[in-house]
Amino acid sequence: MKPAQPPISQPPMSAILSDLILDVDHIAIAVQDIEASSRWYAEALGFSLIERHVTRGEHTSMLYAVMKAGQSVVVLLQGTDPESQVSRFIAEFGSGVHHIAFAVSDLDKAISKANEAGSTTDTPVVRDDGIRQVFFQRDPSTGVRIELIERSGDTFSENNVEQLFRVMEEKGLC
């Protein structure tokens, strides 16, 4: 007979932020072939392509495709060369979840509470019209990065995505 397992305790960040998290804003998935991945999400799962862009940094770039089904949003990411953050992520972790973005009601308060719990941001708050967001350090056990995002608009901002991409490029983050 196996000994009883102790109950799983809730991580401090989630307990502290639970009153500020509104929903999953989007899930970003690093892929090797954005065309094939977009097609699969459309044909197999019924997602629609909302927008597609190339984001350029100082030295590298990425393609991204925003896919939506109902209220669910998946953002597919593909690096354009081996040095791209997305390509380096795939080299280290394989294709899969790059980050999960949680919509929050108050980004400043959420960051403050997460920092109190010992979490550290990897980026400054990046902002554009109707959107503010920040990335936290990647979870070493899962490879997943958490993004907190506060919106007063509905869509992604290409300017915001580029700002985040450039900050991550400068810091050498993947």
How does DSSP classify residue 11? Answer: P
Q: So what's the pLDDT on residue 43?
A: 98
Q: Place domain 20-171 in its CATH homologous superfamily.
A: 2,3-Dihydroxybiphenyl 1,2-Dioxygenase, domain 1 (3.10.180.10)
- Helices H, strands E: what count in the chain? 5, 8
Helices (H), the chain: 12-17, 34-45, 85-93, 107-116, 158-171
* 3-state secondary structure (DSSP) of residue 111: helix
- Listed by start position, the domains of the chain span 20-171
Q: So what's the pLDDT on residue 143?
A: 73
- Please name the residues in contact with 29: beta carbons below 8 A apart, sequence gap of 6 or more: 37, 74, 75, 76, 77, 95, 96, 97, 98
The CA distance from 133 to 102, in Å, is 10
The CA distance from 156 to 166, in Å, is 16
Q: So what's the pLDDT on residue 7?
A: 53
Q: Which residue stretches of the chain have pLDDT < 70? A: 1-15, 154
Tell me the sheet residues that pair with 97.
29
Q: So what's the pLDDT on residue 153?
A: 76
- The CA R_g of the chain, rounded to the nearest whole Å, is 17
Angle between helix axes 85-93 and 158-171 (nearest 10 degrees) is: 60
Continuous segment of H or E residues that includes residue 25:
strand 21-30
The CA distance from 76 to 81, in Å, is 16
Q: What is the pTM of this model?
A: 0.87
